[in-house]
Chain A
Amino acid sequence: QSVLTQPPSASGTPGQRVTISCSGSRSNIGGPYVSWYQQLPGTAPKLLIYRHTQRPSGVPDRFSGSKSGTSASLAISGLRSEDEGDYYCAAWDDSLSGRVFGGGTKLTVL
């Protein structure tokens, strides 16, 4: 049972906009250090979003992050077949004094 709750799956057709949610608490999502990762099949995770909304250099602006209270969201617009993979939210949890990951959301591009 993950501390951060994500839907197990999401899907969309090419060109659509898809949103993945991540629900937590004040001690994790409520803090400033929330990240989103993409893990394509057979590869290591790749940072997509940090500090809720910031994109590292090289990440397309099709990917965006947001926060509302103790929930965070990752939006992917202009969906492409190469976006198919697993997506994880992560945050530092002040109560646990450790980093926590969501259970992951498998994105399928139909």
Chain B
Amino acid sequence: EVQLVESGGGLVQPGGSLKLSCAVSGFTFSGSDMHWVRQASGKGLEWVGRIRGKGNSDATAYAASLKGRFTISRDDSKNTAYLHINSLKTEDTAVYYCNGRYGDSTEEFDYWGRGTLVTVSS
């Protein structure tokens, strides 16, 4: 069974930092691209960034509007992806989803976690 479990969310003060984790099981993590997507309450999906799987070039990419404060990393030995957020702002308040994606010439696979809520407030 495929599982992606996000953790690390919570209440943080503006200006603070946070590290979210996404633990994966049930599919080949090392070969998968891992994306982070966020969704503010009542709003649409916003792509945060991604880190590519093993063997792929251009390892990380980020939404232009968010570049600089967000860092995505991964530990293939632990089947875990991370999202580090610095200098948190109130507008970063959202549910953060991790999204594992991989494919070949004929098929794509796409899996999501349930999300972790980040609330930025004083």
Measuring CB to CB, which residues of chain A are less than 8 angstroms from any residue of chain B?
A: 2, 35, 37, 39, 43-47, 50-51, 54, 56, 86, 88, 90, 96-104
Chain B min CB distance to A86 (Å): 8
What CA separation (Å) do A37 and B112 show in the bound complex? 11
Measuring CB to CB, which residues of chain B are less than 8 angstroms from any residue of chain A?
A: 35, 37, 44-47, 49-50, 61-64, 97, 99, 103, 107-110, 112-115
A101, B46: Cβ atoms under 8 Å?
Answer: yes
What CA separation (Å) do A82 and B19 show in the bound complex? 36
Question: Could you say which residues of chain A place their CB within 8 Å of the CB of B114?
Answer: 43-44
B61, A88: Cβ atoms under 8 Å?
Answer: no
B47, A99: Cβ atoms under 8 Å?
Answer: yes
What CA separation (Å) do A91 and B107 show in the bound complex? 16
A44, B112: Cβ atoms under 8 Å?
Answer: yes
Chain B min CB distance to A39 (Å): 8
Question: Could you say which residues of chain B place their CB within 8 Å of the CB of A97?
Answer: 61
